[in-house]
Chain A
Amino acid sequence: MVEQNLSIPKYWRRTQQYYRLVATRCAKCGKTYFPPRRVCDCGNDALDPFELPKNGSLVTLTVLRSVSVDFEKQRPLLIGVVDLGGVKLMGQIVDCPSPTALRAGTPMEVVFRRVKEDGEHGIIYYGYKFRPVKGCES
C-alpha cells in the first residue's frame, strides 16, 4: 500500500494560498490577513480576497537542522519571517546556502517551488517560498 500523507482535495483547497498568496482584506477597516480569516479583528465579517504583493523584506530567520521526516532530503531548512506589504508570513528561504549576509530588511521576493513529495508514487506539492532579491551574498 502506498502511504499518503496529505489528501489531494485538502491540498487543492489551499492552492489559492499556496500558489498565489491570496489573503483576505477587511472591507471596512482594510486590515489584511494571511492565513485568510473569516472575521476581522474589528468585528466585520465582510472580507474580500486580496493577493499579497510578491516583494517584501526579511524580518528574521533561523537555520533548522532537526527537520520533519518529509524534509529530510532538504535538510537543513532556512526558515524565516518575511513581511509582504505589512503582512508577515513564515516559510522557507531558498537559493541561499550561506545565510550570513541576510539580515532584517534584506529585500525578498516570493518564488514558486516544490515543497515536498508524497512518497514515491504520491503527488508533488508546490507552494510559495522566499529568496533574497539580490542573491544570497548581497
Chain B
Amino acid sequence: MSASGNPDIRMIYIASALMELTSEQLNAGNVLREYIGLKGVPTMRIENGDGSSSLAILAAVNDVKLKGGCVMVAGVEKPHEVTSTKLNKFVSFSTNSEYEAFFGVTPAAQAAIMAREYMNKYEYSYEDIAVWPLKMHERGAQNPNAYFRKAVKIKDITESELVADPLRLYDVAPYVDGSAAVILCAEPNKRDAVIQVSGAGMGVGSAYFASKQAYDALESVGPATKQALKESGMELEDVRVVNVHDTYSIIGLLSLEAMGLSKQGMAPRLMRDGEFDGGGRVAVNMDGGLKAMGFPIGASGLYQLISSAIQLKGEKPFESLNADTALVHDMVGVDQESIVIALRRGD
C-alpha cells in the first residue's frame, strides 16, 4: 500500500486455491481487511486452481474499468501447513476429481505424459528437456527474491529422483508458502505511473486430460496470448519480456511453443541456444520462473505479474533488461485454462 502511495482502496480481491484445505479458513479476505486496517472495504475470494490469482487480477481489472478508483488484489497460499502426500492429494483436486484424482491421477502424472509424448515425437533425450531447470536455476542464482538462489549442474538434474517418468525432482516447481499483493487503479497515481495492464486474454483446453486433442502441445495458451496481444494493440514481436507458468519443465517449454515464440518441437533447442536469455530475442522467466521462485499455487500468477513489473521497471537485478512490454502467462491445472496478461511500461 505504501509502495503505491496509499490510495483509497474500495475492494479487496483475494485469491487462494487451497486455503480451506490447508489452513481451515474460509472468507479469508475479512481476516486480511482487519489485519491491514482497511475499514469498510468489502472482499471477494477467487478460486480457480493454480490460476486463481490471475483470475482475481482479471476481475479487478474489469472492476476498475467499470467503476474507476483503486482495488487490491492479494494472493495467498500456505501449502506447507500439510504433509507432502496430503498436499499431493489436495493438488490432485484440480484434475477432474471424480475421474482422475479418485484413481490417483495428479497434475504431475499428466505433465509427465506430455513430456514423454513430446520427447518421443521430436526425438529429444531427457538432457534436452533438462535445459529448463538448468536455465531457471542460473537465473534464480541472480535473483535476490528467488527461493532457489543456487545454480546447478546438469548432472544434479539428470541424477535427481524420478517424480513421474520422465520428470525428475528438478522438473517440478517446488510448492512454497507465499503471498503477493498489487494495487490496481483506473488512473495512474503519482507514485507508480509506470506499469499498465494493457490487455488480457483467456483460453481453454480440456477438464479431463485424456480427452485432449494432443498430448504434446498446449491448447489453452494460444487463444489467451492472441486475445491479450490484440487487446493491448501489440504484436508478438513487440514483446520483450515473457513469464510462463513453468510448474513443470515441459509446461514451460510447451507454453513458449503455444504462445508462438517457438515452432512446435523447437523450444528446447532455442532455449539451449540462448534465444530466451536476457539479450536474446525475448527474455523468458528472467526471475528463474516458478522453478526457482517457488510455486505458491493460487498466488503464483500474482508472483509472476509482480516479478514482470519489477523487470519492466528495471529494478535490481534486472537493470540491463531495458524492456517496456511483457506477457505474463498463468495456467489452471494442466492445460485446462490459461490466462495471459499484457503489461506496458508508461513514460
Measured between beta carbons, the chain A residues less than 8 angstroms from B208 are: 35, 90
Closest chain-A Cβ to B96's Cβ sits at a distance in Å of 6
Of residues 100 through 124 on chain A, the ones whose CB sits less than 8 Å from some CB of chain B are: 115-116
Cβ-defined contact, B211 with A88, below 8 A: yes
* Bound form: Cα–Cα A71–B100 in Å: 13
Cβ-defined contact, A60 with B215, below 8 A: yes
Cβ-defined contact, B102 with A66, below 8 A: no
Cβ-defined contact, B109 with A79, below 8 A: yes
In the complex, whether A4 has a CB less than 8 A from a CB of chain B is no
In the complex, whether B81 has a CB less than 8 A from a CB of chain A is no
* Interface of chain B: mostly helix, strand, loop or mixed: helix
Give the residue of A14, A64, A127 whose beta carbon is less than 8 angstroms from that of B164.
Answer: A64
Cβ-defined contact, B103 with A64, below 8 A: no
Of residues 31 through 63 on chain B, the ones whose CB sits less than 8 Å from some CB of chain A are: none
Give the residue of A34, A60, A92, A116 whose beta carbon is less than 8 angstroms from that of B113.
Answer: A60
A81 and B85 contact, Cβ closer than 8 Å, known pairs A62-B165, A67-B106: no
A90 and B104 contact, Cβ closer than 8 Å, known pairs A62-B109, A65-B163, A69-B88: no
A68 and B210 contact, Cβ closer than 8 Å, known pairs A79-B104, A81-B113: no
- Which of under 10, 10 to 19, 20 to 34, or 35 or more describes the interface residues of B? 35 or more
* Bound form: Cα–Cα A125–B100 in Å: 14
CB-based nearest B residue for A81: B210
Of residues 42 through 91 on chain A, the ones whose CB sits less than 8 Å from some CB of chain B are: 59-72, 74, 77, 79, 81, 88-91
Measured between beta carbons, the chain A residues less than 8 angstroms from B92 are: 68
* Bound form: Cα–Cα A28–B211 in Å: 20
Closest chain-B Cβ to A6's Cβ sits at a distance in Å of 8
A92 and B103 contact, Cβ closer than 8 Å, known pairs A62-B164, A81-B113: yes
* Bound form: Cα–Cα A132–B96 in Å: 25
CB-based nearest A residue for B92: A68
Give the residue of B96, B102, B165, B166 whose beta carbon is less than 8 angstroms from that of A115.
Answer: B102
Measured between beta carbons, the chain A residues less than 8 angstroms from B113 are: 60-62, 79, 81
* Bound form: Cα–Cα A115–B86 in Å: 17
A89 and B85 contact, Cβ closer than 8 Å, known pairs A66-B163, A115-B102: no
Closest chain-A Cβ to B159's Cβ sits at a distance in Å of 15
In the complex, whether B116 has a CB less than 8 A from a CB of chain A is yes
Q: Mark B98-112, 1 if CB is under 8 A from A, else 0.
A: 111111111011101
Of residues 158 through 197 on chain B, the ones whose CB sits less than 8 Å from some CB of chain A are: 161-166
Cβ-defined contact, B164 with A65, below 8 A: yes
* Bound form: Cα–Cα A65–B221 in Å: 28
* Bound form: Cα–Cα A81–B105 in Å: 11
Which interface residue of B84, B110, B164 has the most chain A CB atoms within 10 A?
B164
Which interface residue of A60, A66, A72, A77 has the most chain B CB atoms within 10 A?
A66
Q: 6 tightest A-B contacts by CB? A: A68-B89, A62-B112, A69-B85, A88-B210, A90-B210, A79-B109
- Given contacts A88-B210, A90-B103, A90-B210, list 8 more A-B pairs with CB under 8 A: A17-B99, A60-B113, A68-B101, A69-B89, A74-B104, A81-B215, A92-B104, A115-B104
